[in-house]
Structure 1
Amino acid sequence: MTESESTPPAETPPSVPPPDTEVPGRKPRRWGLWISLFLLALVLLAGGVGLYGWQRYTGTGPLTADKTLVIPRGSGVAAISRQVADAGITRHPLELAVALRLRRDGTVLRAGEYAFPAGISLRGAIDLLASGKTVVRRFTVPEGLTSWQIVELLRADAALSGEIAAVPPDGSLLPETYHYAYGDARGDLLSRMQGDMDRALDRLWAARAPDLPIADKRQAVILASVVEKETGVASERPRVAGVFVNRLRLGMRLQSDPTIIYALSDGKGFIDRPLTRADWKLQSPYNTYIVDGLPPGPIANPGLLSLQAVLQPETHKFLYFVADGTGGHAFAASLDEHNRNVVRWRKVRDGE
Structure 2
Amino acid sequence: MKRRIFYFISLIIFLLLFGMFFSFKTSRKMEISFSVRKGEPTDVVIDRLAKEHVIKEPFMSKIYARFNNLKVKAGNYLLNGTYSDEDILQILSRGQVHYVKFVIPEGYDLFDVADVLDSRFPNCNKEQFLKLAFNSTFVHSLDINSTSLEGFLFPDTYLIDREATCSEIVSGMISNFNRKVGPLFKTYNPPALVKKALGTISVKKLITVASIVEKETSLESERPVIAGVIYKRLVRKMPLQCDPTVIYAYRLKGIFKKRLNGKDIEKIKSPFNTYLVRGLPPTPICNPGMKSIKAAMYPVNTPFLYFFAVNGKHIFSKTYKEHLRKMRKYYNRHVK
TM range (shorter): 0.5 to 0.7
Question: Residues of 1 paired with 2:93 and 2:285: CA distance?
Answer: 46
Question: Residues of 2 paired with 1:254 and 1:185: CA distance?
Answer: 38
**Residue 118 of structure 2: aligned partner:** 155
Cα distance, 1:226–1:208 mapped onto 2, change above 3 Å: farther
Higher strand fraction: Structure 1 or Structure 2?
2
Superposed displacement of residue 239, structure 1: 0.8
Residues 320 and 338 in structure 1, CA contact (< 8 A), matched pair in contact too = yes
**Residue 317 of structure 2: aligned partner:** 332
**Residue 32 of structure 2: aligned partner:** 69
Q: Please give the per-residue CA displacement for 1:10-56, whole angstroms capped at 9, x wherever unaligned.
A: xxxxxxxxxxxxxxxxxxxxxxxxxxxxxxxxxxxxxxxxxxxxxxx
**Residue 245 of structure 1: aligned partner:** 231
Residues 229 and 258 in structure 1, CA contact (< 8 A), matched pair in contact too = yes
**Residue 213 of structure 2: aligned partner:** 227
State the percentage of identical aligned residues: 31
Amino acid at match of 1:263: A
More deviation in 227-236 or 202-211?
202-211
**Residue 305 of structure 1: aligned partner:** 291
Q: Please give the per-residue CA displacement for 1:185-210, whole angstroms capped at 9, x wherever unaligned.
A: 55433222212223444322332433
Question: Residues of 2 paired with 1:186 and 1:252: CA distance?
Answer: 39
Amino acid at match of 1:148: F
Question: Residues of 1 paired with 2:179 and 2:95: CA distance?
Answer: 30
More deviation in 234-243 or 339-348?
339-348
Equivalent in 225, 242, 246 of residue 256 of structure 1? 242
Question: Residues of 2 paired with 1:231 and 1:297: CA distance?
Answer: 19
Residues 139 and 178 in structure 1, CA contact (< 8 A), matched pair in contact too = yes
Residues 260 and 286 in structure 1, CA contact (< 8 A), matched pair in contact too = yes
Superposed displacement of residue 273, structure 1: 5.7
Cα distance, 1:114–1:292 mapped onto 2, change above 3 Å: closer
**Residue 318 of structure 1: aligned partner:** 304
Q: Please give the per-residue CA displacement for 1:240-288, whole angstroms capped at 9, x wherever unaligned.
A: 10110111111111000111111122266x7246312122223211111
Cα distance, 1:188–1:210 mapped onto 2, change above 3 Å: same
Residues 144 and 225 in structure 1, CA contact (< 8 A), matched pair in contact too = yes
What's the secondary structure of 2:118's corresponding residue? helix
Residues 173 and 193 in structure 1, CA contact (< 8 A), matched pair in contact too = yes
TM-score, structure 1 as length reference: 0.58
**Residue 113 of structure 1: aligned partner:** 78
Equivalent in 152, 175, 182 of residue 195 of structure 1? 175
Q: Please give the per-residue CA displacement for 1:153-172, whole angstroms capped at 9, x wherever unaligned.
A: 11133xx4422544322122
Residues 242 and 314 in structure 1, CA contact (< 8 A), matched pair in contact too = yes
Unmatched runs of 5 consecutive residues or more in structure 1: 1-65, 74-88, 90-107, 116-128
**Residue 108 of structure 2: aligned partner:** 145
**Residue 209 of structure 1: aligned partner:** 190
Superposed displacement of residue 146, structure 1: 1.3
TM-score, structure 2 as length reference: 0.60
Amino acid at match of 2:206: A
Cα distance, 1:186–1:324 mapped onto 2, change above 3 Å: same
Residues 124 and 164 in structure 2, CA contact (< 8 A), matched pair in contact too = no
Question: Residues of 2 paired with 1:342 and 1:250: CA distance?
Answer: 23
Q: Please give the per-residue CA displacement for 1:95-140, whole angstroms capped at 9, x wherever unaligned.
A: xxxxxxxxxxxxx96211269xxxxxxxxxxxxx999697976321
Question: Residues of 1 paired with 2:316 and 2:274: CA distance?
Answer: 19
Mapped pair 1:174 → 2:154:
yes
Residues 114 and 129 in structure 2, CA contact (< 8 A), matched pair in contact too = no
**Residue 19 of structure 2: aligned partner:** none
**Residue 260 of structure 2: aligned partner:** 275
Question: Residues of 2 paired with 1:130 and 1:323: CA distance?
Answer: 47
Residues 309 and 315 in structure 2, CA contact (< 8 A), matched pair in contact too = yes
Question: Residues of 1 paired with 2:180 and 2:285: CA distance?
Answer: 19
Higher helix fraction: Structure 1 or Structure 2?
2
Superposed displacement of residue 184, structure 1: 5.3
**Residue 329 of structure 2: aligned partner:** 344
Question: Residues of 1 paired with 2:323 and 2:270: CA distance?
Answer: 26
Question: Residues of 2 paired with 1:262 and 1:271: CA distance?
Answer: 8
Question: Residues of 1 paired with 2:93 and 2:229: CA distance?
Answer: 57
Question: Residues of 2 paired with 1:274 and 1:130: CA distance?
Answer: 46
Question: Residues of 1 paired with 2:265 and 2:327: CA distance?
Answer: 17
Question: Residues of 1 paired with 2:168 and 2:273: CA distance?
Answer: 34
Structure with greater Cα Rg: 1
Q: Please give the per-residue CA displacement for 1:219-258, whole angstroms capped at 9, x wherever unaligned.
A: 1121111111111222211111011011111111100011
Unmatched runs of 5 consecutive residues or more in structure 2: 1-28, 37-51, 53-72, 81-91, 134-147
Superposed displacement of residue 68, structure 1: 4.3
Cα distance, 1:139–1:248 mapped onto 2, change above 3 Å: same
Question: Residues of 2 paired with 1:330 and 1:227: CA distance?
Answer: 15
